Amino acid sequence: MAVNPPELIIFDCDGVLIDSEPVASRVLWQALTRAGISISLKDVHLRFVGYSQADVRRICIEELGASDPDRIFAEARDDLYAEFSRSLAPMAGMSELIHDLDTLKCVASNSGMERLERSLGFFDLWTAFAPNIFSADMVARAKPAPDLFYLCAAKLGVAPAGCMVIDDNPHGIAGAVAAGMTAIGFVDPTDMRPGRAEVLIAAGAHGVATGADELAALLNRNPAGASARPSGRSRAEPAIA
């Protein structure tokens, strides 16, 4: 399926611009474990990556039986920001890609604005996007609803059909498709979860790029050249348990 070059490129943050998801999973797992909830780090990563904080909280209460969610999430928040300050890094090659991009761009994240400021805000990526950084805090429904993507398009004066979304999570891909936008899946080359490209294609991605170099090549050669196929790379099981 051919698409027109985008007027606006909408980037997810966690797992696309910054390598935050493994850190966030580990910190949440530690907080849940301290609260007496039995769940593996692998299951935390698989279950919660891509969800908004409100959805993570709801799942912990309804499905995991968290009895003191306020304490769990307060501890997790404080620990997360401390760990971000020590170990967070941009995704390899993304700073260069973003600074070389001359297309109108913005960020659309299921993270809250406080978390965005204390993660993306550590890097010059924040300056490259500001003030066009949009959070699930700003809409009634987080991804996979299309609300956040509609907000981006409205704020920047671009019709949904003129927008392209880059997201590493099926929730983001599904939300982009629901908004009538072209969705491109992004896979971290170090992500050991199997079948990520297939998952994103199944959610509606027009194509999948593994790493910043593939994404740059896809954007530079015109998205109409993107193939709606997974990359075909095999991946081992996650190195977390």
Q: Which domains does the chain have, with CATH numbers?
A: 8-19+89-225 (3.40.50.1000), 21-87 (1.10.150)
Highest mean pLDDT among 14-28, 44-58, 139-153: 139-153
| Strands ordered across the beta sheet of 163-167 | 133-135, 104-109, 8-11, 163-167, 182-187, 207-210
Q: What percent of the chain has pLDDT over 90?
A: 60
| pLDDT exceeds cutoff 60 at 165 | yes
| pLDDT exceeds cutoff 90 at 25 | no
pTM: 0.81
pLDDT at position 240 is 31
Lowest mean pLDDT among 50-64, 95-109, 123-137: 50-64
Angle, helices 21-34/69-87, rounded to nearest 10 degrees:
140
